[in-house]
Structure formats: C-alpha cells, structure tokens
C-alpha cells in the first residue's frame, strides 16, 4: 500500500471498524457483507469479463445480461435469498452497472403480486418466476414522463370478443425510456388509458406480451426497439414501443382493485391511493443509494488526494499531498459528510416507511402525507447533491478524474438520472412545498403539529443560541427557523397574490422558485446552499 | 415548424437579426457565417458519416480523423484560409467533436515557429505543413499536470555524439493525456528536463519523432498508445508515451531562446516569461468557447422547453409549455444570459490581448500581469459555470436530456475538461487571487490603480445606490464593493496569520478557500454564487 495512504489511515481519530459496524448492521452484518463481497470479487467468471472502462455499447449490454443471469444462478446455487444479501452481492459484482433483469424483479413481478387477482397471480407468476416471461414496466411515453394522467396509449374494451384493443394513437404516445424494453423483455406491465362503454376510466395496468416466446421477435402489430445511446446506462436497453390495435384477452388487465366486467361495465377501486406506499419506499431507497454512491466517489477522490502530490509550495521542498490544500479539503470533506448523512437518512426513512405503513394498515392515515412529502423532498435533494457532488469529486481528481479508469465518470453517469426518474426533482420539491404550505396554514389557524413537521409550530427564541462553541442543536434550530421563515414567506406571498385576484395556479407558479428553495432548506441540508 | 416555437419567436421584443449581427461581426460576418455553415451542413460526404450519437469509440476516432482530413482538403480546394472562416466551417461540420489533427495545427507547428531557430523552422516546418510529420504537444505526465517544473522526463546531452538521450526514468514520468498521441502522431513537441554537464537546466521543448514515417510503428525504445476510454473525447486519441534512452540529434531541442552548445554549454534565455502571452490567448479563447457552448446548450433546452408540454395545472385545461413554469425559467434564463456575457467577454479579452501584447512589444509591461490574472480567473469561472450550467440544462430537459440524441451530453462531456486543462481551475483562481492581494497591498500603501483592477482604489459610497429602479451601474458597484471587501478580508487574514508566526505558504493555504471566493466575485459574475 502507498505510504501516504498508510500515514493518513494511521492518523484517524476514530475506530474505523466500529464505524463500519454502525454503517453495516453490527459485527455480524459486516462479516456477512465481506463474505459476500469476496465471493463477487474473487469469482473467476466475473473476473474474466471485459472491465467496465473498456467496453463498447454492445459489450456493455452483453456483459450486463451475462452478469445478471450468472448472479441469479450463483445465488440460487449458494442459496442466497435474503434481499440484503442479494443486494450486497450484486453491488460488489456489478457496482454502478445496469441489470437488464432488474425491472423484472422489482417492477414486473411485484406489480402482478400487488395488483393481480388470485387467478392472475396463478397465471402470470409461475412463468415469470421461471424467467419464461421476462417483463418490464412500460409507463413513460415520448410525450409524458411526469404527468402520468397525460399518457396517450389506449386500451379499449371490446365486449364482443372480450378483449382489449391496445393502441398507440399518436407519435407522442410511443412508450419511450422503459428499461429492459429495447432487447430483453417479452412482456410488459403496460400503463394505458382504459376505455370501456365509450368512457375513459383513466390509467390502468395491463400485462401484455410483446415478443414471441419462441424466437423473441416482436409480435404482430408491435414495434419495439432500443432508444440508442445515452450519457450512461450503457448496459441497459431502454426502449421504445408502439401498438397498432393489438388485441389482448380481458384478463390482461390487472383487476385486484378495479375491474372491467365481461359486458364492459367498469368497477372502480375503493381507495384511489393504492400505489402511494411503494413510491415512498422506492424514494427512500434512492436516498440511501445516493448516499452510498457519493461515498464511493468520495473514497476514490479522497484516496487519490492522499496519494497525489502536486506543486512545490516551498522552493526545493517536497510537493504536498493535494489533500493538504485547504481548497481540496473544501471540495472533498463536505461531500464525505453528506454521504454519511444520506446513508443514515436512507435507513431512517426505510424504518419510518415500515412504521407508518403499519399505522396505515391499522387505519391511521395521519402521517402518510407527511412521510410522502419528506420522501419527495429528500429524494430530490439527495439526488441533486449526489449528482453534482460526484461530478465535483471527479473534477477534484484533475485529468485522471476524466478517465473511465478512475471509476468516477461511471458513478456520475449512472446516478444522475436519479434526478429525473421516480419523480422529476423540481416536481418533487414543489410537492413537498405544497404540503408544507398546507401545514403552515394549519399552524396559522392555531393547530399544533407533530412528527417531521412539528418545527413549524415552534416559536423561535428571540436570540440565536449560536456562539463560539457551536452546538449541533443550535444549528438545527437555525435551520428549522430558516425553513419556517421561508415557508411563511411563500405562504404569505401566495395569499397576497390570490387576494390581488390571481388564480391559485398562477399564484402558485409565481411562488414556485421560492417553494423549491423552501423545501430544500426544510430537509436540514448537510451542505451549503 | 412547431406552432409553439413560432409563437415564442413572434413574441420576441428585440430584432433578432440585429442581435445576430452584433454577435457575428455585422451583416457581412453573418452572411459569410451562414454561407460557410451551409457548406458544412449540406456536404454529402459529411452527411453520409454515422451521426455522433450512434458511434462506438472506434467509429468516433475513425470519423473524427476522416472529417479532419476531408475538411483540410475542402478548405484548400475552396481556398478558405482566414482563421475565422476555418473555425466557422469546422464548428458547423464537427460541432463539439474532436479534431485529431487539431493539436498539430495549434500546438505543434506554432511551437516550432515560435521557439525554433531559422534552421529548425526550415527543417521541420515543410514536412509538418505537408502533413508528412504529424505532431502533437506532449507535456503532461502521469504524475504531473499542474506543476510543470515537476515533470520527470529527461533529455541528457551527450557531447560525444552531440545527441540528447531521452528517457522516462519512473512510471510517473510517463507522458499521459496528450491528445493525438495515442494513434495519430509521428512526432511530438516533448517537454523534458534538460540535463547537460551534470546540471539540470529545467524544462525545455524538443522535437522528437516517435513513429516510423513508413509504417507508423513506434520507433525503437518508444512505448506509445491510447490511454483508453474517457467520459467524452471519444474522437481524440489521448495517449501515453515512454522513452527508454532514445537518442535524438542536438537540433531536436528548440533553440531560439536557450541553447546547448556542441560541447554541452547551456545558454539560458534572456527573458524567462516568453510563453506568457500565448497562454493568455488560449485562455481568452476558452472563455468565448465556454460562452458559445453554453449558448448551444441553452438553445436546445429553451427550444425544447417551448415545445414540451407537461402537467395539467388547471383541471381539464391544456398542459402548459414547460417554459412557462417559473422554476423552468430560473433554470434556463440565467444561463442564457451567461452565454452572452462570456461570448462578449471572450471577444473583449482577445482585443485586450492584442492591445496589451502590442504594448509589451513596445516595452511597456505594465498591464501584462493584470491581463494574465484576468485571463486565469475568467478561464476558471467560465469553464466552471459552463460545465455545471450545461449539465443543469441537460437535466432541465427531463429524461430526453439524458439521451445522446438531445445533443446535451455531447456538449457536457466535451467542455467539462476545460475546467482541468490549460490551467486547472482552482490553481487559476488562486493565481488570480494572489495578484489581487498584491494589488490590494499597493492600494493600501497609497497607490492609485488603473485598468481592470482600478475598482480596488474606489471608495464605496456610504449608502448603496440600489433601489426599486435597478440600474446596471449600481449592480456593478455592488459587485466591485463586494470584491474589494473580500480581497481586503483575505489580505488582512493572511497578514495576521503571518504575524502570529505562520510561514507564508501555510498562511496562504489557510486563506485559500477565501481566495478562490474572492477571485470568483472579482470576475463580475453574471450568476448567483
Ligand atoms: C435513465 C432513465 C431510465 C428510465 N427508466 C424508465 C423506466 O424504466 N420506465 C419508465 O416508464 N420510465 C423510465 N424513465 C423515464 C422517466 O421516468 C421520465 O423521464 C421522468 O418521469 C421525467 O419525465 P419527462 O422526461 O417527461 O420530463 P418532463 O416532465 O417533461 O420534464 C421536463 C422539464 O419540465 C419541468 N416540469 C415538468 N412538469 C412540471 C411542473 N408541473 N412544474 C414545474 N416544472 C415542471 C421539469 O422540472 C423539467 O425541467 C427513465 C428515464 C431515464 C433518464
Ligand atoms: C480531455 C483532456 C485533454 C488533455 N489534453 C492534453 C494535451 O493535449 N497535452 C497535455 O500535455 N496535457 C493534456 N491534458 C492534461 C491536463 O493538462 C492536466 O490534466 C491538467 O494540467 C491538470 O493537471 P493534473 O491532471 O495533474 O491535476 P492535479 O494538478 O494533480 O490536480 C488534482 C487536484 O489537486 C489540486 N491542486 C493541484 N495543485 C494545487 C495547488 N497548488 N493548490 C491547490 N490545489 C491544487 C487541483 O485543484 C485538483 O483538485 C489533458 C487532460 C484532459 C482531461
């Protein structure tokens, strides 16, 4: 090991093994983690594959698919089944690489499980589990990502044949972006506007076969392919898909919550907010993911900065390690701190998710909205920060950061889409802010708030408690105070705009930059604004 | 044309033809520009090449080279010789693409012209002009980019044979990063430590052949190749290069300013700051380049935002163009404004460069340092802003920004290295700040400053002139005031640290984050910090 690294490691003022245990679920967790990582790192087959920094697009996809299949087999053989174990092994074997079979596992199968009837689950799941059906989740269209209600793909029920006719009526109705669609999948969960008896009943999910189970060719009436090169995601076959009046049986529609009867009668769901929960969970996962990605990039940049020596600052003296430049520390350390913050925040949110979900099952919806707002805001803030942060870390490595060999471009190109998918960030900040404004109105009308947003009810102390001996509580109080003030400011501006005659949506738009700012501060930012 | 675009264009409050003329050198300039662009855009050969978004690395390089050769021939045939014309044609034919013959033209030939003796120019230039010699500029090594004096490649003079022995004594002495080195070049300008008569005389430039003129194979003792994949620069063969005691004749050393006599006597240059000027020029070019790149990305993102409609904000209403969201405007418009600022700043700096250079030739060095500091600071600020700005613009296009088809990833990956090459940005900010601190000391000692930094002498008005009717002069005054205050703060902090016994370099390091901040503000930032 490089002597500068050894020196830096020796000078740590904390017990690094202890910190590792805090991060990874105790002594046993760390042991298991290392065991799994070693399997992945030492596996001769995985070692034999062309490294990430030396692949063309075709090789990227080829290897991504090979790894996915191989790892599935390996885990079956070794009986590795706990989700956390599978996650660790995959991360070590294909760190920041795409998994073309991933959406099959995390979207296709779970959607059938959650939204299918008993009969549908029995019909679709066995071939899906056996990988005879390989599926993905086709939602986004060329024209619509954010605004789901604007999707244009139609599924029109024909009671004569008891079939749905799936159609892509416009160019913009083309499904565009879904992962694993371009080459891998033979089935999709299709999100489409349901029409029956001359009425539009809104977006529903359908299980639709798109490619032959024999030769993997597109079925008649279906146009499907890969959308081409992207900034990253080389191993993922994001695809496009169009339907020309393709007929599917009635039970293609997942009917656990809503139904179309044989005669075409539509039966709506009892509770419209079914999908709420899993969205929160995915966003919580993203927060932790962003923390880990930032941590990986920080480790690379910090180790490099310890090893790299540049610029003689005293004539004839040794060149300092660049980590000793104050400017370099300012690039590295806040981002290292932020990675810890988001990793812990990710854990915390997962715990909260399970707690609040349990409450909801018990009929207590009280905290659902606040959890939802928190998840939206933190998903946005963590991905904003991680994306620009990883890029700063890359640049902090000088020329070598630009080389794929540094690993930094890979992390950047792989995580930056998190700003866009699972809720576009600006839209997320605005959602969070709308909730905060609503809560502020409750405080203004004399209600006491609890949970995440109780701070809105706090009266700030007349003088700030901050002095030379900086205490964490004082900083948090400052943030809470700033966050309250910002929300108050926006809420009052909106009121006055509406009083002056602006329609609500116009007033809201005129306040939206401030709303984004307010929700950023609300997330107790471990980063300067 | 899309109807939303037509509507937006109609609503412009300025004469867009007039603005174009201001940007591109009057009516005649615009006419010529369009003529040249059309040649490039309509050329059947150029049209026939695989588009940028659909190439693998090999195709990228192949096409980059084909384009470079074809354009050289085309311009010769059409007698297009003015540098500005050549620039426009190249930009239109290969916008944000690499030119593997570029360094030959802008570094190899000019270095020989400027630093070679009459005999050397006669010897090297004809084959270089005829493209028999294809050259590049090999400076950066694996171990050193920023700190040139730290380069380790040696050129040791052997008076017995009147040759230099070129050697790479360590792994870190490997040349690493030079463009056109990996595949294209058969010659390099090599920057190496000159040793003669047992003494090291520092870095000097040598013309060294590295590949055979017959079969393009590396010559004996030379190891050379491509450094592999990068975040971008796919069309450029950035390379590595090592020498194992390779002998070259005495006249390989460019001897216009310094010399090694036959017997090994070293004759130093009269003026050590020869290269100063052209560095300023290149940095000024980068400023304009960053402005243009930001403008390209702004145009893409703004047009897209006019065409894109997303999210129904009034139930049942039409979805608004996303450009009408306040948050979207906040992403787009400051960057559009910044592109104008940097384009004009680039022009301005080129003009200043020629003016100050003329002064220097007349023996007046007064403004040299201040121009140098300005160029360093603005190079850094413009590339910082353009790199993160283009990335923001990409994200503002939602999912489609991530696709290579949007053009945005291409601009980003092509310009982000400008933060690193031609003077690493942090190092540039610090250089600028050191000059400002020096000037501040002059003001403090009662001197009156002129030119770029005269504001340091200004006494601010007791009250800010800013009121409801915002005037540009008031804003500039505010900036100048802030910039003065920041420099004053740093200068005083440094003094007090040194008084308390810190060595100068330690004190400077302890102030360096503030120094960077101070030089950022100094550049009259068209952007929030
Ligand atoms: C790598 C990658 C993988 C993907 N994988 C999948 C997948 O597997 N399946 C799938 O279905 N989709 C997938 N997507 C698509 C993704 O979900 C969408 O891109 C995302 O939902 C954003 O929608 P959009 O692209 O339509 O952006 P838009 O919503 O059109 O956003 C464009 C701009 O408009 C702004 N804007 C939009 N609405 C508002 C508003 N109401 N207020 C203020 N500003 C607004 C945004 O802030 C943004 O700046 C993927 C995308 C990427 C990049
Ligand atoms: C796309 C690309 C093309 C290139 N083309 C060429 C070419 O054609 N020819 C060629 O010779 N080279 C080329 N280079 C190399 C380039 O010139 C160097 O990468 C650049 O000079 C930076 O040096 P470095 O990589 O050694 O970074 P370093 O100087 O090692 O920087 C690493 C970190 O240390 C910090 N640091 C370094 N010194 C100081 C200091 N004194 N004070 C504070 N912080 C400091 C930096 O801010 C940075 O954060 C190219 C590089 C790239 C990325």
pLDDT digits (tens, 9 = 90+) for B421-463: 999 999 999 999 999 999 999 998 999 887 777 888 887 777 7
Report which of residues B205 and B450 the model is more confident about: B205
Contact B399 A140 (CB under 8 A): yes
Nearest to B146 among A310, A394, A509 (CB): A310
The owner of tokens 């802008």 is B106
Q: Which of A248, A15, A242, A217 is nearest to A124 (CA)?
A: A248
Contact A404 B229 (CB under 8 A): yes
Q: Give residue A36 CA to ligand 2 midpoint distance, Å.
A: 37
Contact B313 A505 (CB under 8 A): yes
Residue B283 clears pLDDT 60, i.e. is over it = yes
Q: Is the CB of B429 under 6 A from ligand 2?
A: no
pLDDT of A526: 36
The distance of B466 to chain A (nearest Cα, Å) reads 22
How far apart (Å, rounded) are the C-alpha atoms in residues A194 and B444?
76
Cβ–Cβ contact A414 with B under 8 A: no
Q: Give residue B166 CA to ligand 2 midpoint distance, Å.
A: 23
pLDDT of A274: 54
How far apart (Å, rounded) are the C-alpha atoms in residues B385 and B403?
22
Ligand nearest to the CA of B512: 2
Helices assigned H by DSSP within A308-367: 326-361
Ligand nearest to the CA of A387: 1
Mean pLDDT of B475-486: 84
% residues pLDDT > 90 (chain B): 79
Residue A527 clears pLDDT 70, i.e. is over it = no
**Dihedral of CA B115/B117/B118/B122: which sign?**
negative
pLDDT of B277: 67
How far apart (Å, rounded) are the C-alpha atoms in residues B111 and B120?
11
Residue nearest to atom 5 of ligand 2 (CA): B178
Residue B172 clears pLDDT 90, i.e. is over it = yes
Q: Using pLDDT thresholds of 50, 70 and 90, give the confidence band for residue A276.
A: low
Report which of residues B121 and B362 the model is more confident about: B121
Cβ–Cβ contact A519 with B under 8 A: no
Report which of residues B450 and A23 the model is more confident about: A23
Report which of residues B306 and A483 the model is more confident about: B306
Q: Determine the angle formed by the axes of helices A368-395 and A408-415, rounding to 10 degrees.
A: 150
Residue B271 clears pLDDT 90, i.e. is over it = no
Contact B403 A227 (CB under 8 A): yes
How far apart (Å, rounded) are the C-alpha atoms in residues B71 and B37?
13
Ligand nearest to the CA of B429: 2
**How many other CB atoms are there within 10 angstroms of residue A107's CB atom?**
22
Q: Using pLDDT thresholds of 50, 70 and 90, give the confidence band for residue A272.
A: low
Cβ–Cβ contact B403 with A under 8 A: yes
Q: Among B106, B143, B146, which is best to mutate for testing ligand 2, by the most ligand atoms less than 8 A from CB?
A: B146
Cβ–Cβ contact B100 with A under 8 A: no
Q: Which of B383, B438, B437, B441 is nearest to B412 (CA)?
A: B383
- Beta sheet of A239-243, edge-to-edge order: A175-176, A239-243, A222-226
First to last CA, chain A: 38
Q: Give residue A57 CA to ligand 2 midpoint distance, Å.
A: 29
Q: Which of A121-125, A341-345, B18-22 has the lowest mean pLDDT?
A: A341-345
pLDDT in tens, B247-265: 999 999 999 999 999 999 9
% residues pLDDT > 70 (chain A): 97
Residue of chain A minimizing CA distance to B423: A398
Q: Give residue B403 CA to ligand 2 midpoint distance, Å.
A: 29
Contact A417 B405 (CB under 8 A): no
How far apart (Å, rounded) are the C-alpha atoms in residues B250 and A455?
77
Mean of pLDDT over chain A = 93
Contact A512 B230 (CB under 8 A): no
Helix (H, G, I), strand (E, B) or coil at B253: strand
Q: Using pLDDT thresholds of 50, 70 and 90, give the confidence band for residue A528.
A: very low
How far apart (Å, rounded) are the C-alpha atoms in residues A44 and A216?
31
Q: How far is CA A398 from the centre of its chain?
A: 29
Residue A521 clears pLDDT 90, i.e. is over it = no
Nearest to B319 among A147, A331, A430 (CB): A147
Tokens representing A180? Answer: 């694993």
Long-range contacts of A505-512 (CB under 8 A, 24+ apart): A505/B313, A505/B314, A508/A434, A509/B313, A509/B324, A509/B325, A509/B326, A510/B326, A511/B326, A512/A430, A512/B325, A512/B326, A512/B327
pLDDT of A450: 77
Q: Using pLDDT thresholds of 50, 70 and 90, give the confidence band for residue A473.
A: confident
Residue of chain A minimizing CA distance to B414: A402
Cβ–Cβ contact A403 with B under 8 A: yes
Contacts of A419 in chain B (CB under 8 A): 395
pLDDT in tens, B372-391: 998 999 999 999 999 999 99
pLDDT in tens, A279-306: 888 998 999 999 999 999 999 999 999 9
Residue B528 clears pLDDT 70, i.e. is over it = no
CB–CB of B504/B498 below 8 Å?
yes
Mean pLDDT of A497-522: 91
Mean of pLDDT over chain B = 93
Helix (H, G, I), strand (E, B) or coil at A145: coil
Q: Which of A175-179, A496-500, B478-482 has the lowest mean pLDDT?
A: B478-482
How far apart (Å, rounded) are the C-alpha atoms in residues A167 and A164?
9
Q: Give residue B150 CA to ligand 2 midpoint distance, Å.
A: 13
Helices assigned H by DSSP within B267-367: 276-307, 326-361
Residue B185 clears pLDDT 70, i.e. is over it = yes
Q: Using pLDDT thresholds of 50, 70 and 90, give the confidence band for residue B420.
A: very high
Backbone angles phi, psi at B163, to 5 degrees: -130, 160
Q: Which of B390, B232, B225 is nearest to A401 (CA)?
A: B232
Residue A275 clears pLDDT 60, i.e. is over it = no
Q: Which residues of B belong to the active site?
A: 422
Residue nearest to atom 32 of ligand 2 (CA): A398
Contact B53 A229 (CB under 8 A): yes
Residues 491-510 of B with CB under 8 A from A: 503, 505, 509-510
How far apart (Å, rounded) are the C-alpha atoms in residues B123 and B111?
14
CB–CB of A115/A191 below 8 Å?
no
SS (H, E, C) A206-270: EEEECECCCCCCECCCEEEEECCCECCCCCCCCEEEEECCEEEEHHHECCCCCEECCCCCEECCC
First to last CA, chain B: 38
Residue A494 clears pLDDT 70, i.e. is over it = yes
Q: Using pLDDT thresholds of 50, 70 and 90, give the confidence band for residue A238.
A: very high
Q: Among B206, B279, B413, B424, which is best to mutate for testing ligand 2, by the most ligand atoms less than 8 A from CB?
A: B424
């Amino acid at each position: 090991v490089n002597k500068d690294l050894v020196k830096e490691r020796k000078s740590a003022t904390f017990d690094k093994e202890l910190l590792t245990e805090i991060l990874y679920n105790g002594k046993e967790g760390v042991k298991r983690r290392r065991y799994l990582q070693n399997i992945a790192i030492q596996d001769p087959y995985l070692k034999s594959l062309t490294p990430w920094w030396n692949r063309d697009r075709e090789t990227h996809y080829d290897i991504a698919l090979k790894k996915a299949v191989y790892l599935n087999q390996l885990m079956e053989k070794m009986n590795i089944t706990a989700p956390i174990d599978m996650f660790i092994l995959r991360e070590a074997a294909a760190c920041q690489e795409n998994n073309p079979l991933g959406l099959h596992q995390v979207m296709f199968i779970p959607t059938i499980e959650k939204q299918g009837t008993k009969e549908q689950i029995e019909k679709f799941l066995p071939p899906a589990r056996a990988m005879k059906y390989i599926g993905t989740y086709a939602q986004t269209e060329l024209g619509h990502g954010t605004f789901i209600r604007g999707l244009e793909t139609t599924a029109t029920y024909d009671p004569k044949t008891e079939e749905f006719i799936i159609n892509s009526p416009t160019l913009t109705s083309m499904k565009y972006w879904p992962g694993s669609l371009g080459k891998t999948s033979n089935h999709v969960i299709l999100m489409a506007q349901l029409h029956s008896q001359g009425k539009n009943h809104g977006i529903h999910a359908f299980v639709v076969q798109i490619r032959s189970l024999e030769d993997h060719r597109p079925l008649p009436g279906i146009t499907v392919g890969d959308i081409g090169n992207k900034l990253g995601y080389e191993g993922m076959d994001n695809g496009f898909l169009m339907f020309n009046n393709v007929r599917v049986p009635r039970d293609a529609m997942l009917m656990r919550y809503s139904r179309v009867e044989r005669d075409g009668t539509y039966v709506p769901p009892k509770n419209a907010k079914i999908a709420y929960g899993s969205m929160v969970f995915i966003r919580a996962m993203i927060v932790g993911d962003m923390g880990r990605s930032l941590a990986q990039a920080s480790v690379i940049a910090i180790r490099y900065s310890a090893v790299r020596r540049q610029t003689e600052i005293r004539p004839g003296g040794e060149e300092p390690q660049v980590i000793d430049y104050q400017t370099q520390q300012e690039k590295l350390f806040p981002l290292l701190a932020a990675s810890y913050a988001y990793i812990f925040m990710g854990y915390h949110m997962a715990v909260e998710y399970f707690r609040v979900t349990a409450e909801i099952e018990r009929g207590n919806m009280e905290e659902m909205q606040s959890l939802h707002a928190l998840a939206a805001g933190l998903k946005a803030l963590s991905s904003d920060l991680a994306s620009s942060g990883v890029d700063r870390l890359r640049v902090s490595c000088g020329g070598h950061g630009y080389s794929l060999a540094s690993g930094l471009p890979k992390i950047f190109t792989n995580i930056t889409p998190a700003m866009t998918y699972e809720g576009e960030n600006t839209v997320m900040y605005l959602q969070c802010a709308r909730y905060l404004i609503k809560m502020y109105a409750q405080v203004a009308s004399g209600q006491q708030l609890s949970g995440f947003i109780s701070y809105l009810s706090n009266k700030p102390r007349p003088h700030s408690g901050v002095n030379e001996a900086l205490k964490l509580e004082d900083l948090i109080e400052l943030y809470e105070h700033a966050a309250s003030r910002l929300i108050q400011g926006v809420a009052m501006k909106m009121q006055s705009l509406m009083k002056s005659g602006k329609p609500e949506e116009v007033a809201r738009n005129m306040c939206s930059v401030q709303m984004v700012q307010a929700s950023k501060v609300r997330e107790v930012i471990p980063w300067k604004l």
